[in-house]
Amino acid sequence: MATTIRYQGTPIHLTSKRQGVAYPWGGRYQKEHYRVFITIEGKRVQFEYYTPARMMTRDELISALHCFLLDVYAYDANTDLRDFAKEFGYDVESKECRTAWRGCRHAYEKWLGIKNCIEYNRLINWLQENFRV
């Protein structure tokens, strides 16, 4: 699946590639595993996305972008592990907390590589106002 959305005149290209079926985070529920690619002005990053949806639709792809940006925000607003744990209700010593915090940090670092002039928080708001995310 591929789609392009325009944010403030800048095209954001989204594509996905199905990776198979997975049981993410040690869960009991089967999810479809996709690799999602974001391309902005020739710069590209990818991230893993899990969904119960068998087929990736345009709406699901835009929702995946939204989820990625929320991870970017989660780290940017809570760069300290203790702050992150407090904000999201984790035990700071737990493996789950460190795994989630590192995942959000990784998303933040990826976003820094492609962000150009787009502020992620404004893009999050725009996605929420214009799409079903």
In contact, 18 and 26? CB cutoff 8 Å? no
Predicted local confidence at residue 92, as pLDDT: 97
Between CA 25 and CA 38 the distance in angstroms is 23
Strand order in the sheet with 2-7: 2-7, 10-22, 31-40, 43-51
Predicted local confidence at residue 52, as pLDDT: 87
Predicted local confidence at residue 75, as pLDDT: 97
In contact, 131 and 62? CB cutoff 8 Å? yes
On average, the pLDDT of the chain sits at: 93
Number of domains observed in the structure of the chain = 1
Q: What is the DSSP string of 33-60?
A: EEEEEEEETTEEEEEEEEES-SS--HHH
Alpha helices (H) in the chain, listed in sequence order: 58-77, 81-88, 95-114, 120-130
Q: Where residue 25 falls among pLDDT bands split at 50, 70, 90? A: low
CB atoms within 10 A of CB 53: 13
What range defines the domain where residue 56 resides?
A: 2-130
Over residues 88-120, the pLDDT tens digits come to 999 999 999 999 999 999 999 999 988 767 899
Over residues 42-84, the pLDDT tens digits come to 999 999 998 888 889 999 999 999 999 999 999 999 999 999 9
**pLDDT of 4 above 80:** yes
Between CA 65 and CA 80 the distance in angstroms is 24
